[in-house]
Structure 1
Amino acid sequence: MAKRKKRRNSESPEGSDIDNVGTSKKTIRTSNARNPSGKNQYPSVPSIEEMAELLHDYHKKNPNFKYPDYIAALMNDHSIRIGRSKLALYLKQLGLSTSSRGNHIPEAEKTQLILDELAKDPHQTRGPRAIREALNLAGHKIARDDISGVMHAFEEDGFEKRHPRSKKSLVRTPLTSVGPHEEWSMDGHDKLNKVGFGILGLRDKWGRKYLHYRVFPSNRYADTTGVFYLECAKKHGGIPTQVSSDRGSEVRDAYAFQTTLRQQFAPDLDPSLIPPWMFLDSTRNITVESGWRPLFYTWGVNVLEFFQSGLDDGFFEPGNYIHEQTSNWIWFPAVQRSLDQFCHEQNNHRIRRQHDKILPSGGTPNDFYANPAAYGGTDCLIPVDEAVLDQLLQEARDAAHEHMRYVDDGFNDFAQEAYAALGKPEITLQNAWTVFSSHGWSAWTT
């Protein structure tokens, strides 16, 4: 039997109201909604005017920040919860975009910025990623592909030089650590000693942060190394649980300071279980030792290149007292500023995520130290009274004065006058010999 078709009635049944029924159903659906008010449990995001200063501060500290970095920092530092879309809108309106695509720099200017950065690296030790990070830190957001294109056009052979098969691979040993400041690794670097620059370095084991790196006339004196250690303690507001180094006699004063201060400010730590200082072979002092190769081959070789150029061009006369003093006065601060910039770039270098790695990855050393808990770490810094550090540091500097100074005491005032007569130009590795040989300086030094 055929199914009976349901009759469609164009008129409403008696006593019913179609409109009222529809309204009733709508009302029912609304009343059953999970959130009829439209408000959620999260606080409202501050306005762009309220956020502008915070976002500018984060960008100034680290121009390489990505969206997750901003989101995590705002939540951790200020308990501000913000979504990626809203954050992107704010950053775009403030001109702080994390992407280089929206940064429309004219092609000619972009190329020149890249070439200027390449000129700081005559040995072609840095790849496109390192150049991009350096430009970002200087406030110039340029896409990696653009940088790579310029480098291929002007420094094609640099890619072959940097290829892993073209150099000896560095053997690495897995490291473990509880958190920042559990162990500082100390060592000296001697490859620039032949031109008079002794380097001392302190690097943290947990996040591989370059804590304190310093240029001295020599890194072989115990009193100089003691000053260096106290400068790092002053810089970070305390001392580590432990320091590691090789067995050189130059660590004598630093060893004494670490041992005494830890006994005074962390008496509960048993030195028989956790020694305040560990003496290691150079091959086992991996944290700081593994950093010397990239430091020398991406920074040190260029220092030697720029310094040697002045000697080869006849700007400098060996044995001439004025020349030697002037050269030291110009070059030591210039090398220190360049070394500080290298450490700044390394501490803002993003370490790729490695799931099988024990130490933190997937961020920069600065990220690890800003929020160690997010990377599974515990801050182990032992706070030390600032007045105690100030007194020890002043006494240590007085004792090490002769070994630390790079010009005679009377020459500094003389050099300052000559420098002022030149208009106090900014001195870099690239123009140091130009300043040395300038007419105004020569007039004062003859």
Structure 2
Amino acid sequence: MVRLILGLIDPQGVALRQAGRLRRRIYINNGPNFAIHLDGWDKLKPYGLSIHGAVDGFSRRVLWLKYCDSNKKPKYIFSFYLDYIREINGISVRVYYDRGTKNSIVRDVQIALRWTDADQYQGILSFVYVSSTRNVRIERFWRSLREMCGNVWMNHFKDMSDFGLLDTSDSVHLECIRYCFLLVINKDMNEVCNIWNTHRVRRNNRISCPAGKSEVLFFQPEVNGARDCNIPLVDNRELNDVEREYSQRPPELDVSQEFLTIARAAVGDLNLQYPHRNREEGTELFAAITMYIERLV
């Protein structure tokens, strides 16, 4: 009886479901800096490496891709967001992010900066909590990141663990991973960002965003009949006060000062090469430093 009634009141929906097709939602974006999508990538977190990134919804351009010992610290994330604000000398209309205390400072500052604006997305509507299925811009980038270089590093660290060289339960080993590999990983990630930001986005009739290269779409939206939605900052003095109190940048090489002192002593005593150029040299350096620390203990 229910099946027959549904066929009468919603024949189109029944036909679509029978065909195995879903009606997709239409993504609407007015231009660069209208909506930015933030998220963290945790695939390397078991090995002491956390990544945080942001993507512009209109151009798909990567706005930042940062490393830290934890992408759950609100002050770290706010420092990344603050660099973006200063780069464009303004704020985006909306920010999309998942729920959690890690984004509390970004949420409060975004709402505060947009509180007195008169558009339909002012105030609390300028920050939107979404699930991963709706945060598709940054989720799509994570997929490409994993395909381009993420899997290589995941497999490398897994091999180190399988051979007994890396103990993921030892905090010293995790700090040593960051010290030995962060510069090489950062080089790979910068190459990924350059490739992503200069690749040509194909046309899609289900979204309002045009096709083209991400860099061109972001910096020259007028070519595609769009406009930069950046909302200029009126006064930076309050932002400076907030930065002093709530912003914190990750430490050098994301390691403690104590470990940094010991690692530099090991490099000097053992006549090692630092910085290194590839994964193999980083692995040799990791083995040498961990053995040096074990002898000290």
Shared fold (TM-score, shorter chain, > 0.5): yes
Supply the AA of the counterpart residue of 1:364.
Answer: K
- Give the structure 2 partner of residue 260 of structure 1: 112
Q: Are the structure 2 counterparts of residues 377 and 326 from structure 1 closer, same or farther at C-alpha, using a change threshold of 3 Å?
A: same
Corresponding residue SS for 2:125: coil
* CA deviation after TM superposition for structure 1 residue 376, in Å: 1.7
* CA deviation after TM superposition for structure 1 residue 182, in Å: 0.4
Corresponding residue SS for 1:194: helix
Summarize the alignment of residues 36-47 of structure 1 with structure 2, pairs less than 5 Å apart.
Answer: none
- Give the structure 1 partner of residue 221 of structure 2: 372
- Give the structure 1 partner of residue 132 of structure 2: 282
Q: Per-residue CA shift, 1:302-337, capped at 9, x if unaligned? A: 111122233333433566665443223223343333
* CA deviation after TM superposition for structure 1 residue 194, in Å: 2.4
| Residue 192 (str. 1) matches residue 44 (str. 2) | yes
* CA deviation after TM superposition for structure 1 residue 375, in Å: 1.5
Corresponding residue SS for 2:201: coil
CA distance in 2 between partners of 1:413 and 1:388 (Å): 37
Summarize the alignment of residues 427-442 of structure 1 with structure 2, pairs less than 5 Å apart.
Answer: 427-437=277-287
Among residues 334, 340, 361, which one is paired with 2:184 in the alignment? 334
Normalising by the residue count of structure 1, what TM-score does the alignment of the two structures yield? 0.52
RMSD, aligned α-carbons: 3.4
Corresponding residue SS for 1:422: coil
Supply the AA of the counterpart residue of 2:160.
Answer: G
Supply the AA of the counterpart residue of 1:204.
Answer: D
5+ long unaligned stretches in structure 1: 1-170
| Residue 426 (str. 1) matches residue 276 (str. 2) | yes
Supply the AA of the counterpart residue of 2:51.
Answer: I
- Give the structure 2 partner of residue 411 of structure 1: 259
Supply the AA of the counterpart residue of 2:198.
Answer: N
| Residue 360 (str. 1) matches residue 219 (str. 2) | no
Corresponding residue SS for 2:43: coil
Q: Per-residue CA shift, 1:98-152, capped at 9, x if unaligned? A: xxxxxxxxxxxxxxxxxxxxxxxxxxxxxxxxxxxxxxxxxxxxxxxxxxxxxxx
Q: Does the aligned pair in 2 maintain the 1:360–1:375 contact within 8 Å?
A: yes
* CA deviation after TM superposition for structure 1 residue 387, in Å: 5.8
- Relative contact order, CA 8 A, sep 6+: which one is greater? 2
| Residue 238 (str. 1) matches residue 90 (str. 2) | yes
Q: Does the aligned pair in 2 maintain the 1:227–1:397 contact within 8 Å?
A: yes
Q: Are the structure 2 counterparts of residues 327 and 279 from structure 1 closer, same or farther at C-alpha, using a change threshold of 3 Å?
A: closer
- Give the structure 1 partner of residue 62 of structure 2: 210
CA distance in 1 between partners of 2:147 and 2:175 (Å): 28
Q: Per-residue CA shift, 1:218-244, capped at 9, x if unaligned? A: 223333332332233234332201111
CA distance in 1 between partners of 2:169 and 2:282 (Å): 19
Summarize the alignment of residues 49-60 of structure 1 with structure 2, pairs less than 5 Å apart.
Answer: none
Normalising by the residue count of structure 2, what TM-score does the alignment of the two structures yield? 0.75
- Give the structure 1 partner of residue 165 of structure 2: 315
- Give the structure 1 partner of residue 144 of structure 2: 294
Q: Are the structure 2 counterparts of residues 310 and 386 from structure 1 closer, same or farther at C-alpha, using a change threshold of 3 Å?
A: farther
* CA deviation after TM superposition for structure 1 residue 173, in Å: 4.9
Supply the AA of the counterpart residue of 1:202.
Answer: A
Supply the AA of the counterpart residue of 2:52.
Answer: L
CA distance in 2 between partners of 1:429 and 1:197 (Å): 15
Corresponding residue SS for 1:199: strand
Summarize the alignment of residues 169-180 of structure 1 with structure 2, pairs less than 5 Å apart.
Answer: 173-180=25-32
Corresponding residue SS for 2:228: coil
Corresponding residue SS for 1:243: strand
Q: Does the aligned pair in 1 maintain the 2:94–2:121 contact within 8 Å?
A: no
Corresponding residue SS for 2:114: helix
Q: Are the structure 2 counterparts of residues 372 and 215 from structure 1 closer, same or farther at C-alpha, using a change threshold of 3 Å?
A: same
5+ long unaligned stretches in structure 2: 1-22
CA distance in 2 between partners of 1:303 and 1:203 (Å): 22
Q: Which has the higher strand share?
A: 2
Supply the AA of the counterpart residue of 2:178.
Answer: N
* CA deviation after TM superposition for structure 1 residue 190, in Å: 2.6
CA distance in 1 between partners of 2:200 and 2:60 (Å): 12
Corresponding residue SS for 1:201: strand
CA distance in 2 between partners of 1:352 and 1:225 (Å): 31
Q: Return the index of the structure with the highest Cα Rg.
A: 1
Between the two proteins, what is the percent identity of the paired residues?
A: 24
Q: Per-residue CA shift, 1:153-181, capped at 9, x if unaligned? A: xxxxxxxxxxxxxxxxxx97542211100
Supply the AA of the counterpart residue of 1:376.
Answer: G
Q: Does the aligned pair in 2 maintain the 1:315–1:433 contact within 8 Å?
A: no
CA distance in 1 between partners of 2:157 and 2:37 (Å): 29
- Give the structure 2 partner of residue 27 of structure 1: none
Q: Are the structure 2 counterparts of residues 296 and 313 from structure 1 closer, same or farther at C-alpha, using a change threshold of 3 Å?
A: same
Number of equivalences: 270
